Structure 1
Amino acid sequence: MDLALWISAWVLAGVALVGGVSKSFVPKEKLAAVHGGGWTEGVGARSIKALGVLELLAAVGLVLPGLLGRVAVLVPVTAGCWVLLMVGAMVTHGRRREFGFVGLNLAYLALAAFIAWGRFGPESFPG
């Protein structure tokens, strides 16, 4: 199970890294032009960048504390925060009737919930 949790954390960290880089460094107009970028309508550029920074922090928080064995409780805490972020993403895409993205966000939510459950519970990191 430990291996499944590590793989899940790395996959989700990759998703967070890609999303974080694009939201942090790609101009709002270019984000809006890509498939699924319509959610940026009515959202300020600073808010988009703030989401990007949160995603970059999540990418780090999902793997680095566990790798270093320092403050490893941040891994399941980060995964729990990702669950909340995905609920927001699902609501946003649901309002726009982008149900494919709702499903994708649900998959990311499930992965994050698995990590949070596993790292808070049966496969928690040593003290």
Structure 2
Amino acid sequence: MTLFLWILQIVLALMFVGIGGLRLTRPASRLRKLPWTDGYAPGTIRALGAAELVAGVCVLAPGILGWSPLVTAVAAGCLAALMTLAVLMHLRQGQRQTAVLPAILLVMAGIVLWGRLDQMM
């Protein structure tokens, strides 16, 4: 189970560091071209990117640096909450196919959250 959790954590970290980094570094004009960004200010999208970037780092770094596994569990919980909101937003906008990736990431983050909390007890 530990190897499986590590693999999920690495995948989550790579995805969210990449996605968050893109949302932070893309020019505002390119951010507005994404279909889901209608009605969201560029600052909101950048704040979301910062949250994803930090959570992506925190889902992996504690295990590497020997910090408390609670940090990993909290980061995974935050990612699960973000992905729940992402799925709901995509479904609300009628983008069913675009909701698949956030749903998969939600399940992955939930497994990491459950697995790391289980290991602490």
Query: Shorter-chain-normalised TM-score: which range?
Result: over 0.9
Q: Aligned with 1:73: secondary structure?
A: helix
2:82 matched residue in structure 1? 85
Distance 1:117 1:95 in 2: 28
1:53 matched residue in structure 2? 50
The answer as to whether partners of 2:80 and 2:110 remain within 8 angstroms in 1 is: yes
Aligned residues: 121
Taking the TM superposition and a 5 Å limit, the aligned residue runs for 1:17-56 are 17-33=17-33, 37-56=34-53
Task: Tell me by how many angstroms 1:106 deviates.
Answer: 0.8
1:108 matched residue in structure 2? 105
Instruction: State yes or no: 1:97 paired with 2:89.
Output: no
Task: Tell me by how many angstroms 1:72 deviates.
Answer: 2.4
Structure 2: which 5+ runs fail to align?
A: none
Instruction: State yes or no: 1:68 paired with 2:52.
Output: no
1:14 matched residue in structure 2? 14
TM-score by length of 1: 0.89
Task: Tell me by how many angstroms 1:97 deviates.
Answer: 1.2
Task: Tell me by how many angstroms 1:92 deviates.
Answer: 1.1
TM-score by length of 2: 0.93
Distance 1:101 1:14 in 2: 19
Task: Tell me by how many angstroms 1:86 deviates.
Answer: 0.5
Distance 2:70 2:63 in 1: 8
> Counterpart of 2:100 in structure 1: which amino acid?
G
> Counterpart of 1:24 in structure 2: which amino acid?
L
Structure 1: which 5+ runs fail to align?
A: none
